Amino acid sequence: MRVAKIERKTSETTVTASVKLDGTGQYDVSTGVGFLDHMLEQLSRHSLIDLTVRAEGDLHIDPHHTTEDTGITIGQAVSEALDDRRGIRRFGSALSAMDETLSRVVVDASNRPYLIWNVRFGQPQLGGLDTELVKEWFQAFAQNAGITLHVENLYGENSHHICESCFKGLARALREAIEVDPRKAGEVPSTKGVLGGTL
């Protein structure tokens, strides 16, 4: 079974994340940041990755460390559960609409982490979460999950809708990318025979 549990403890945060890649989208999330919880619940539900997260951080300062370290820990759990990534489809993409908003997310689960982020928000905070921290979460997740990740908001006005469409888009693209391809089960999806490193 493709499952993993990661515990990360620093002087700023303590985070535990468990994932089951072949799940049904069940979640149990508590970070102390309500809006972040809501986004992680969307990620789980729409990717079908079962996700459990517990985070305690220095929220008396701000949500930065908790947000970033949650991205790191979930990303590490996903990477560990993928193991050598043998048999996965590897690529995934999604157009994610929410009311007036449309976002595009593309994933290559290549073990070559990279983030392209073309998203802007019209307001500085969403439910106590600084909107500039949304990019920090995606950066931390991509780096530690070992994925190339392109996120682009094509248009939209409402910052909540923009953010949620990005998380839902990630969920759908990730679901496609990490799915096992029955025609290539057991094979590494690369002409190199291994994922990671240079092209």
Distance CA 116, CA 187 (A): 28
Q: What is d(CA 32, CA 176) in angstroms, rounded to the nearest whole number?
A: 30
The structure tokens 């990490």 sit at: 178
Domain with 55 in it: what CATH number? 3.30.230.40
Give a yes or no: residue 165 inside a domain. yes
> 139-157, pLDDT tens digit by residue?
999 999 999 999 999 999 9
pLDDT of 199 above 90: no
Asked whether residue 111 is domain-assigned, the answer is yes
Mean of the per-residue pLDDT values of the chain = 94
CA distances from 139 to 73, 120, 136, 147, 193 (A): 12, 15, 5, 10, 27
Confidence tier at 183 by pLDDT (50, 70, 90):
confident
Q: Range of 41's domain?
A: 3-178
In a domain, 171, yes or no: yes
Does the pLDDT value for residue 192 go beyond 70? no
Residue 194 forms part of a structural domain: no
SS3 115: strand
172 lies in some domain: yes
Residue at 156 is within a domain:
yes
Q: Is there a domain that residue 189 lies in? A: no
Which helix (H) or strand (E) segment holds residue 96: the answer is strand 91-98
pLDDT, tens only, 72-112? 999 999 999 999 999 999 999 999 999 999 999 999 999 99
Encoded amino acid at 26, one letter: Q
Question: Is residue 164 domain-resident?
Answer: yes
Indicate the number of domains in the chain.
1
Nearest-angstrom CA–CA distance, 114 and 167: 17
